[in-house]
């Protein structure tokens, strides 16, 4: 039996967009990032392929609480009340009471939110297992090391299975479809911090993983190369946003300039079908907003 299995949740009908990691560690069964509740029918089908039901899951390990990673958690707990939900302390209050999280998401996604993500139910406090980073969790026959990896989100963690050498990195190492060398950052508001992000990449590299598991999408088998390439692209995106902001153009023009530049970069490396897939997954408008907010906050900071 393979201990770690990618489950394609076919988000919004798109394959290879959101992967949940199925962990089978002896008799213990868990998911890393169960995805949004809109994909629960596909999750149910994927579990059935492996002879499992939602009622047989023991735990959910959340890298962070964004809707595409954690949105199904409350619905799954409602169906399976014994589920333990592991989450960083900064994210836990929003799992127990998601009102502020959902208000923020509605401002970003508008009328598309329900279709893309479905409902986000609260997780009872008694089901939450609070993490800070630095823990070693015993789960079934394995241990998972928890590493605090902010930058994409202030509540982001990475889980590391030292026996398999797999680092479950959520969004810390970007979007890369099944190990493709083209890597697309995801930099949505409100928590983007490139200094912390660089330190988080260092922390993941220090684990010396054999593989990275990306929620978008699945395994990357050359971690050192992946991290180096991602770090370089993230820096270039930051420089591009800073340059556009310095030109003082109207916001819609600035956003359009950023999106056009990234789309051109993608077209230089990918066929059009792949470009479309990456751009659907990447939500470039949100990445513009996140990086622009980061640079404006830095500019406004004292000193």
pTM of the shown model: 0.96
Domain finish residue from 161, 194, 224: 224
Nearest Cα neighbor of 25 from 159, 128, 131, 138 is 138
pLDDT at 108: 87
- What would the mean pLDDT of 228-256 be, rounded to a whole number? 97
Q: Yes or no: say if 223 and 209 are a contact pair by the CB < 8 Å rule.
A: yes
Q: Do 237 and 147 belong to one domain? A: no
302 compared with 2, residue with greater pLDDT: 302
pLDDT at 2: 73
Q: Do 190 and 237 belong to one domain? A: no
- What would the mean pLDDT of 31-53 be, rounded to a whole number? 98
pLDDT, tens digit, 9 for 90 and up, residues 93-147: 999 999 999 999 999 898 899 999 999 999 999 999 999 999 999 999 999 999 9
Q: Do 137 and 262 belong to one domain? A: no
pLDDT band at 275 (very low <50, low <70, confident <90, very high): very high
Q: Do 170 and 296 belong to one domain? A: no
Q: Do 91 and 214 belong to one domain? A: yes
Q: Do 106 and 146 belong to one domain? A: yes
pLDDT, tens digit, 9 for 90 and up, residues 151-189: 999 999 999 999 999 999 999 999 999 989 999 999 999
CA dihedral 29, 31, 37, 42 (to 10 degrees): -70
Task: Please report, for the domain that includes residue 26, its CATH number.
Answer: 3.60.15.10
Q: What is the mean pLDDT of the chain?
A: 96
- What would the mean pLDDT of 229-256 be, rounded to a whole number? 97
- 302 pLDDT higher than 90: no
Q: Give the per-residue SS3 of the chain.
A: CCCEEEEECCHHHCCCCCEEEEEEECCEEEEECCCCHHHHHHHHHHHHHCCCCHHHCCEEECCCCCHHHHCCHHHHHHHCCCCEEEEECCCHHHHHCCHHHHHHHHHHHHHHHHHHHCCCCCCCHHHEEEECCCCEEEECCEEEEEEECCCCCCCCEEEEECCCCEEEEECCCCECHHHCCCCECCCCCCCCCHHHHHHHHHHHHHCCCCEEEECCCEEECCHHHHHHHHHHHHHHHHHHHHHHHHCCCCHHHHHHHHHHHHHHHHHHHCCHHHHHHHHHHHCHHHHHHHHHHHHHHHHHCCC
- What would the mean pLDDT of 69-93 be, rounded to a whole number? 98
Q: Do 211 and 256 belong to one domain? A: no
Domain count, the chain: 2
CA distance 84 to 73: 10
pLDDT at 303: 67
pLDDT at 1: 58
> Which domain, by its residues, includes 276?
233-300
Q: Do 166 and 291 belong to one domain? A: no
Q: Do 134 and 243 belong to one domain? A: no
Q: Do 151 and 295 belong to one domain? A: no
Residues of the chain with pLDDT > 90, as a percent, come to: 95
Q: Do 37 and 182 belong to one domain? A: yes
- What would the mean pLDDT of 204-222 be, rounded to a whole number? 97
Q: Do 201 and 248 belong to one domain? A: no
Q: Which token pair is 100?
A: 């502020």
- 80 pLDDT higher than 80: yes
Domain finish residue from 203, 224, 245: 224
pLDDT at 156: 98
pLDDT, tens digit, 9 for 90 and up, residues 4-28: 999 999 999 999 999 999 999 999 9
Domain finish residue from 224, 249, 273: 224
């Amino acid at each position: 039996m393979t201990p770690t299995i990618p489950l394609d949740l076919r988000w919004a009908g798109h394959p290879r967009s959101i992967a949940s990691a199925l962990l089978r560690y002896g008799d213990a069964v868990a998911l890393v990032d169960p995805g949004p509740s809109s994909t629960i029918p596909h999750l149910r089908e994927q579990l059935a392929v492996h002879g499992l039901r939602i009622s047989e899951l023991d735990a959910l390990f959340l890298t962070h609480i964004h809707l595409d990673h954690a949105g199904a958690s409350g619905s799954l707990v409602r169906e399976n009340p014994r589920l333990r939900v592991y989450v960083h302390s900064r994210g836990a209050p929003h799992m127990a009471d998601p009102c502020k999280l959902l208000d923020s998401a509605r401002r970003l996604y508008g009328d598309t939110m329900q279709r893309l993500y479905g409902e986000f139910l609260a997780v009872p406090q008694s089901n939450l297992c609070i993490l800070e980073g630095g823990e070693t969790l015993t789960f079934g026959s394995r241990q998972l090391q928890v590493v605090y990896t902010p930058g994409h989100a202030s509540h982001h963690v990475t889980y590391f299975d030292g026996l398999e050498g797999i680092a479950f990195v959520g969004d810390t190492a970007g979007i890369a479809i099944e190990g493709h060398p083209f890597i697309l950052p995801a930099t949505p508001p409100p928590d983007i911090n490139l200094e912390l992000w660089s330190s988080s990449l260092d922390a993941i590299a220090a684990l010396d993983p054999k593989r990275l598991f990306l929620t978008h999408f699945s395994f990357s088998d050359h971690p050192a190369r992946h991290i180096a390439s991602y770090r370089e692209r993230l820096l270039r995106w930051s420089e591009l946003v800073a340059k556009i902001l310095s030109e003082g153009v109207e916001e819609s023009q600035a956003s359009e300039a950023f999106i056009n530049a990234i789309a051109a970069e993608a077209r230089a490396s990918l066929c059009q079908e792949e470009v479309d897939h990456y751009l659907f997954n990447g939500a470039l408008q949100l990445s513009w907003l996140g990086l622009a907010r980061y640079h404006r906050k830095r500019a406004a900071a004292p000193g």
